[in-house]
Amino acid sequence: MNPTEIKKLKALLSKPKNIVIVTHWSPDGDAIGSSLGLYNYLVKKAHKVTVITPNDYPSFLGWMKGNKKIIDFQKNESAGKKAVAKAEMIFCLDFNSLKRIDKLGEEVAGSSAVKMIIDHHLQPEDFADYMLHSVAACSTCELIYDFIHHMGDKKMLDKDIANCLYTGIMTDTGSFRFPSTTAKTHLILADLIRAGAENSEIHNRTYDDNTESRLKILGFCLNEKLTVLPEYKTAFFALTAEELDRFQYKKGDTEGVVNYALSIAGIRFAAFMVERDGIIKISFRSKGSFDVNKFSRSHFSGGGHANAAGGMSELSMKKTVAKFMALLPEYKIQLNAKK
């Protein structure tokens, strides 16, 4: 953001406004953390704020201040539409394309409110009046911190805002281990802890909130569903709807399973394919130079970041796995690259 934009935004936010915050389909820690972090900041500035998610999010994120007031558009479309219709400003957080918010995208596209994108995904669509976008940012939460700083309101950081932002930074960096983690990230974390973020508690709430079904699905995946292809430095899991049912799957139960495939020594490319709502949803992860954003955009109608992306397939599970495996020879050199 340049100084003129910052000045305009400061002026816009200097008087109470009706504000809507939307974030992406199947919200993760960064989506909920950035939305509620911004929510708590804007509420503190006396705005009337509504957070809308396109669908539900996992229960381990259900503790941040304001989360009870989130409107799930899939469950309560009329309340969501009403909030968007009244909005004078809409913040679009942690997504780069209106496709990522499903039917809510039509409401946002049709609204005359001032729109602002705050995001760190590659290749953002140009649908907003303001954009705070950086691919170098480890998370959207890092950018919310920057935004509050740009607004000259760092002194307004408090425990509630800090808890939300810490959560998103922690989850999007894989607990501060991905290459996106920088010195700046750690300086922000230090500031958040100083402002009251309950760092140790947040780790417990997020990672020690496993359901029995989640652990059983993980055990089943590791034991029976892992395919390792050393020739392509690739490993993947493929899980059918019937298998999810067998373990009484609940939302969030398969989150992070893909990382186990990537944790195998020598593996640089991992995928997790799961049959849900009649389609195959895929998570891609990589280490080093293999670009899963490109791979997913080219073959599985998705995208995201260079080392973490999502995608989908409308083929059967069997055909999706076959398509995935048939693509690997084409990438053999890249997958076997030194870096």
**Chain positions contacting Mn ion, by CB under 5 A:** 30, 94, 140, 172
Which is closer to ligand 5GP, CB of 43 or CB of 324? 324
302 sits near ligand 5GP (criterion: CB under 6 A): yes
Which is closer to ligand 5GP, CB of 80 or CB of 310? 310
Size of the site for ligand 5GP (CB under 6 A): 15
Which is closer to Mn ion, CB of 50 or CB of 140? 140
Which is closer to Mn ion, CB of 94 or CB of 243? 94
Output the residue with the shortest Cβ distance to ligand 5GP. 310
Among 13, 138, 303, 307, binds ligand 5GP (CB under 6 A): 303
Least distance to Mn ion, CB of residue 145, Å: 13
Which is closer to ligand 5GP, CB of 195 or CB of 236? 236
Least distance to Mn ion, CB of residue 77, Å: 25
Tell me the Cα Rg of the chain.
Answer: 20
- Binding span for ligand 5GP by CB under 6 A among 5-13, 41-49, 236-244, 301-309: 301-309
Between CA 73 and CA 56 the distance in angstroms is 8
Place of tokens 């109470």: 16
- Binding span for ligand 5GP by CB under 6 A among 44-52, 101-109, 263-271, 297-305: 297-305
Within 122-151, the residues that bind ligand 5GP by CB under 6 A are none
Output the residue with the shortest Cβ distance to Mn ion. 30
Place of tokens 């989130």: 70
- Binding span for ligand 5GP by CB under 6 A among 149-157, 160-168, 186-194, 296-304: 296-304
Which is closer to ligand 5GP, CB of 119 or CB of 160? 119
Q: Angle CA(281)–CA(287)–CA(290) in degrees, nearest 5?
A: 75
Least distance to ligand 5GP, CB of residue 279, Å: 11
Contact string (CB under 6 A) for ligand 5GP, positions 245-284, x = contact: --------------------------------------x-
Within 102-121, the residues that bind ligand 5GP by CB under 6 A are 121
Among 90, 113, 304, 307, binds ligand 5GP (CB under 6 A): 304
Helices 159-172 & 29-44 angle (0-180, nearest 10): 160
Residues forming contacts to ligand 5GP in the complex (CB under 6 A) are: 24, 28, 96-97, 100, 121, 283, 302-305, 308-311
